[in-house]
Amino acid sequence: MTAWPFHLAVPVSDLTKAREFYGGLLGCPEGRCDETWVDFDLFGHQFVCHLDPSMPPPRKHVNDVDGDGVPIPHFGVAFDLPTWRALADRLEAADIEFIIAPRTRFAGQPGEQGTMFFHDPFGHALEFKGFRSLQTLFAKEAVAH
């Protein structure tokens, strides 16, 4: 699997809050910026917050996945389990309100993963996943570890 960084740009109503959340809480280094946008290094990916003071809240929709109401749309990053656990611990210590608290999904199945969902201050849903091996990210069948 070749790991090419993705690029994602989203609207935000306040760049200071975006910096506090993505830069401060999630620990994403800030890249280029201007008065109306800021780049973040979202764990190796280019994530850009564009200022839109009049942005409406995102439309909320959920799909059932493994017994949870998963918010759609959402975005995030897949980690190894220790990195995922460290982030989950940091978010729990910060009293983040989780949509789906950190837990194991698809236990004992191909693609078993740690998962957690929460909103940023602008209503964008984020999911961060943790795998014993990233080789199982797209697994359809059991993979030897």
pLDDT in tens, 31-53: 999 999 999 999 999 999 999 98
**Other CB atoms within 10 Å distance of the CB of residue 84:** 21
- CB burial class (10 A; 0-12, 13-18, 19+) of residue 57? exposed
Q: Show the DSSP H helices in 3-67 as ranges.
A: 15-18
What are the structural domains, with CATH classification, of the chain?
1-54 (3.10.180.10), 61-145 (3.10.180.10)
Percent share of the chain, pLDDT over 70: 95
Kindly tell me if the per-residue pLDDT of 124 is higher than 50: yes
pLDDT tens digit sequence for 48-80: 999 998 888 777 888 988 888 899 999 999 999
**Nearest of 78, 75, 76, 65 to residue 135 by alpha carbon:** 78
What's the mean pLDDT when you consider all of the chain? Answer: 91
Which position has the token pair 């620990």? 27
Report how far apart, in Å, the C-alpha atoms of 16 and of each of 10, 77, 143 are. 15, 23, 44
- pLDDT-based confidence at residue 107 (cuts at 50, 70, 90): confident
Listed in sequence order, the residues at least 6 apart from 49 whose beta carbon sits closer than 8 Å to its beta carbon are 9, 10, 11, 12, 15, 18, 22, 37, 38, 40
Q: pTM of the predicted model, to two decimals?
A: 0.88
Average pLDDT over residues 93-122: 93
